[in-house]
Amino acid sequence: MNESLLTLLRRVDTPTVCNAIEVAQGKRGFANFTRGTMLASAPKAPAMVGFARTARIAALAPPTEPSDVIRARRMNYYRHMSQGPRPAVAVVEDMDYPNCIGAYWGEINTTVHKGFGLSGALTNGVMRDLGDLPDGFPVVAGAIGPSHGFVHVREIGTQVTIMGMQVRDGDLIHADRHGGLVIPPDVIPDLETAIEKLLQTEKLILKPARTKGFDFEAFEEAWTRFEASRT
């Protein structure tokens, strides 16, 4: 991924990228995005963009494995998050979903992950300490809650499911207050052009619609140009 594409992806929102993927693919039907309403710790923050560093956690019940096994896995988790290509996004599935209680993403954990150089966190689980999370590390989560429960790491680097979206370690992620998506590898070479084309095409409708005196006739003319540009 070149720097120009990275800069553009950080500038546009996730719905724009979702549409641009379909432009690049030449068809509708792209479906690897989150479902349902997600919550953003910093709704006005730029989108988080990066390669997924995946893991799975649980918190409803205490772990049954020996404490030394749990500690070793926890350290392996942090080692995994500290490594790999950058930019990167922590993508962590809470296995208790939809009954998640463990706020894994609080002030301490987000600060640690930001220190590792990650761009943010995407989870179906819980966040807390709103107002105390570090700037520049947005969290997009399934819920807000006060407790960490019995939170512990169960798996590292495996495929995860976040609100219906399948993510493999290393997938390219784009996420903001709308939710997240996985950018298919085959569209990456064409994605920058597709985004720019999409933005220009949208102006064919948006500019007239924002002009004083806009009426149905003006809409019909603009829509004709808009439709022609999409074929």
CB 166, CB 52: distance < 8 Å? no
**Residue 87 CB contacts under 8 Å (≥ 6 apart), including other chains:** 6, 49, 50, 51, 117, 118, 119
137 and 84: one domain?
A: yes
pTM: 0.94
178 and 197: one domain?
A: no
48 and 87: one domain?
A: yes
145 and 65: one domain?
A: yes
- Rounded alpha-carbon distances, angstroms, from residue 48 to 116, 117, 121: 15, 12, 8
Residue 101 lies in a domain: yes
The whole domain housing 154 covers 31-183
Domain count across the chain:
2
- Rounded alpha-carbon distances, angstroms, from residue 142 to 112, 164, 184, 216: 21, 12, 23, 41
209 and 150: one domain?
A: no
Quote the tokens at residue 100. Answer: 């998640």
pLDDT mean by block of 10 residues, the chain; 231 residues: 93 97 94 97 97 98 96 98 98 98 98 98 98 97 97 98 98 98 96 95 95 95 87 51
174 and 210: one domain?
A: no
Q: Which residues pair with 144 in a beta bridge?
A: 127
126 and 101: one domain?
A: yes
54 and 159: one domain?
A: yes
Residue 26 lies in a domain: no
